[in-house]
Amino acid sequence: MRLLVDGGVDQQASGAMSTPMTVAEGTFHPAISVTLHESIVTWLLTNATFSGRLRQMSTTDLAFVGASVFTGKGAPPRVASVAISGGRIAAVGTEEDVREQVGPKAEVVDARGKLLVPGFIDAHVHPVYAGAVMIQCEMHGLTGVESYVKAVAEYASNNPNAPWIAGGGWSMADFPGGTPTRQVLDAVVPDRPAYFPNRDGHGAWVNSRALELAGITADTPDPADGRIEREADGVTPSGTLHEGAMTLVSDLIPAPTSADYDKAFDVAQAYLFSLGITGWQDAIVGEVNGRPDNHDAYLRAAADDRLRARVVGALWWDRGRGDEQIEQHVERRRTGRAGRYAATSIKIMQDGVAENFTAAMLDPYLDPCGDHSTNSGISFVDPEALNQDVVKLDALGFQVHFHAIGDRAVREALDSIEAARVANGPTANRHHIAHIQVIHPDDVPRFAELDVTGNMQPLWACHEPQMNELTIPFLGEPRWRTQYPFGALQRAGARLAGGSDWSVSSPDVMWGSHVAVNRVSPPLEDEGFPEPFLPEEQIDLATALTAYTQGSAYVNHADETTGTIEVGKLADIALFDRDPFAAPAEEIYRARAIGTWIEGEKVFEASPDA
Ligand SMILES: [Zn+2]
């Protein structure tokens, strides 16, 4: 999630909301951001009865015949048939075994040459926020001014009663100087205010009506923490607002309503189902920066029987406050359990990101000349306080889900878990550290020693412009080589879980696994980044997919019932159009989900022409 640091007060923003100094909680990669084909969003939005309709398709017995079955237990798939009965996996064996098990009325799926997997579980994702952008004007998957303008025009005409036209995700590279003009937006939205943050969240494109409502004129001075882009006369606002100037407009946009969040949840859940994802850990649950609480969106979805996925919520730790907030979290955990949702984790964001030097490093960043600077980033929670807080949370049975990007933040997170282990002994809380971009080699073995799961976002582990230009030069030799050391963690016996940080980057598990295996991103390969990123840190496909299944199920305390294909487990499964284990590693990303089931109930089916 893109987060803000503003005078030490935690805030969070995405889409329409933004304030000074935007810091991506995870690294934001323009070139590997979410690629949502317009047609998918349209399809999701026009299928309002989607989940209702699918529910009726319900649970007759099922048999998958001749599938490549990936069990989620670390080994490559084997050809087998699988029977589903009563929402559970009833048999794994030969076609005869399976047909016997399900009886003559069962739906039989010819799965020869296809991959059957345990439903994927995204261990770090923000679906409600991502869905909120999806239901607005979504530009992440688009390229070029024309496509943005077309999207805005379509969105405006499809939403004639929306008071604001908002969304976001355009790329600076598509505009001269990275600064689009209000006139281009005015041509398609002349009457209502329009506001679109760019892909990295540090600037926004607005129309004349938005400037007018915000009272931004030629006489308006730049705010202290931002800049109003001006036309050639040097005074007239041109339609791009940078950093703190963005809030002059974004503060006027109404916060999403409960109904917006419900729609956002539905769209996000349906999209994740279409990728074979059947569960996740929401990495920020809470009211942050005045946005409505997504916790309530889950509780409503559970109450209305719209929540089909299994979800653990990570309650947001307000780092502006201390341990006095623990009581509230205990209460929210007690009442925050409904249907397949449970808010049992606590999210502590320990640092920022490397690209703007807010990730907490053991040694200072290099300056642009390659010399040592004096900046080592920011530990958002004082390490002493962190130790005490984590000891208390651990004693109360909370899982702690850390955000740690820099090697100092990773070490501080590990230290706090060590303090908890010393104080409380081993617990079943299953703490995990997400992002783990830079890990000091001395700390790699501590994951296994302290029984801490490494929560990987593999899509980020590749060469791309942000890595090559904004990260490697400032980490320097040899430190940049300690990034995303998934291979080293595996060799050291660490547990691994997989996640996406969507909407920061795509939740497509096959794409993430492709990068985990190849350390190259398919779309970037053709754009001048064919070199594998630290190839010694590659993991094999079975290890990657095990992280997204059994590994993430473990983190969500759902491994006794899900995460593997074994007799007796709940039938949370997905079928893919091909077996990527049987093809060259360069083709892993091509695998597409064609069906997804939760407890044997079909929640997604690819249309035949997809
Ligand atoms: Zn996140």
Neighbours of 192 (CB within 10 A): 18
Confidence of residue 524 (pLDDT cuts 50, 70, 90): confident
Of the listed ranges 32-41, 207-216, 457-466, 491-500, the one predicted with least confidence: 32-41
347 CA from centroid of ligand 1 (Å):
10
Q: Any bridge partners for residue 24, and if so which? A: 2
Whole-number Å distance, alpha carbon 15 to ligand 1 midpoint, is: 14
Radius of gyration of the CA atoms of the chain, in A = 24
- CA of 25 from ligand 1 middle (Å) equals 6
Mean pLDDT estimate for the chain:
89
Which of the pair, 353 or 261, is modelled with greater confidence?
A: 261
> CA-to-CA distance for 56 and 71, rounded, in angstroms?
28
CA of 481 to the centre of ligand 1 (A): 23
More confident residue, 102 or 58: 102
Q: Residues 173-186: what's their mean pLDDT?
A: 91
Do residues 576 and 594 lie in contact, with contact meaning Cβ atoms separated by under 8 Å?
yes
Spacing, Cα 394 to ligand 1 middle (Å): 22
CA of 369 to the centre of ligand 1 (A): 32
**Nearest by Cα to 140 from 44, 268, 35:** 35
pTM: 0.85
> What is the percent of the chain with per-residue pLDDT over 90, rounded to a whole number?
74
In the prediction, which pLDDT does 437 show?
Answer: 98
pLDDT, average across residues 185-210: 91
Statement: residue 22 has pLDDT above 50: no
Which residue is associated with the tokens 């041509």?
Answer: 187
User: Residue 39: what pLDDT?
Assistant: 47
200 has a pLDDT exceeding 80: no
For residue 202, the CA-to-ligand 1 centroid distance in Å is 17
What's the pLDDT score for residue 20? 26
Judge whether residue 202 has pLDDT over 90: no
Question: What is the pLDDT at residue 141?
Answer: 78
| Ligand 1 centroid from CA 283, angstroms | 6
User: Band of the pLDDT at 397, cuts 50, 70, 90?
Assistant: very high
Q: Which two tokens stand for residue 480?
A: 């940049």
Report the candidate in 176, 179, 182 with the shortest Cα–Cα distance to residue 195: 182
* Average pLDDT of the residues in 168-196: 92
Among the ranges given (214-223, 441-450, 518-527, 591-600), the one the predictor scored with the smallest mean pLDDT: 518-527
Distance 124 CA to ligand 1 centre (A): 6
Helix (H, G, I), strand (E, B) or coil at 506: coil
159 alpha carbon – ligand 1 mean position (Å): 29
**How much is the pLDDT for 31?**
36
Answer yes or no: are the C-beta atoms of 239 and 270 closer than 8 Å: no
Measured in angstroms, how far is the CA atom of residue 192 from the centroid of ligand 1? 32
Distance 3 CA to ligand 1 centre (A): 9
Query: What are 2-21's pLDDT values in tens digits?
Result: 332 222 222 333 332 222 23
Q: What DSSP string runs through 367-422?
A: -TTSSB-S-----SS-HHHHHHHHHHHHHTT-EEEEEE-SHHHHHHHHHHHHHHHH
Has residue 24 got a pLDDT over 80?
no
pLDDT more than 70, % of the chain: 89
pLDDT at 416 over 90: yes
Q: Per-residue confidence at 610, pLDDT binned at 50, 70, 90?
A: low
Pairing mode, strands 310-316 and 341-349: parallel
Q: How many helices (H) and strands (E) does the chain have?
A: 21, 26
pLDDT confidence of residue 356: 80
Dist. CA 212 → ligand 1 center (Å): 34
Task: Assess whether pLDDT exceeds 90 at residue 399.
Answer: yes
Cα 534 to Cα 537: distance, rounded to the nearest angstrom: 6
How far, in Å, from the CA of 454 to the mean position of ligand 1? 14
CA distances from 449 to 142, 227, 410, 430 (A): 45, 49, 15, 13
Interval between CA 573 and ligand 1 midpoint (Å): 25
- pLDDT value of residue 528: 83
- Per-residue pLDDT, averaged over 569-596, amounts to 97
Structure tokens at 304: 């209305």
pLDDT band at 40 (very low <50, low <70, confident <90, very high): low
- Report CA(126)–ligand 1 centroid distance (Å): 7
Q: Is the pLDDT of residue 203 over 90?
A: no
The residues near 446 (Cβ < 8 Å, ≥ 6 apart) are 414, 418, 452
Ligand 1 midpoint to CA 46 (Å): 28
Residue 242: HSE in the Cβ half-sphere, 13 Å Cα cutoff: 14
Whether the pLDDT of residue 36 is over 60: the answer is no
Q: Which residue has the higher pLDDT, 22 or 39?
A: 39
Q: What is the amino acid identity at position 206?
A: V
37 alpha carbon to ligand 1 midpoint, in Å? 22
Q: State the distance from the centre of ligand 1 to the C-alpha of 402, rounded, in angstroms.
A: 10
- Confidence (pLDDT) at 44: 55
User: What average pLDDT score do residues 56-75 get?
Assistant: 85
Q: How far away, in angstroms, is 379 Cα from ligand 1 center?
A: 17
CA of 101 from ligand 1 middle (Å) equals 43
| 459 CA from centroid of ligand 1 (Å) | 13
Q: How far apart are CA 461 and CA 463, in angstroms?
A: 7
Which range (8-22, 169-183, 192-206, 386-400) has the least confidence?
8-22
Task: Flag whether pLDDT at 30 surpasses 70.
Answer: no
Measured in Å, residue 334 CA sits from the centre of ligand 1 at 24
Tens of pLDDT, residues 433-451: 999 999 999 999 999 999 9
**What is the whole-number distance in angstroms between the Cα of residue 220 and the centre of ligand 1?**
35
Q: How far is the CA of 427 from the centre of ligand 1 (A)?
A: 25
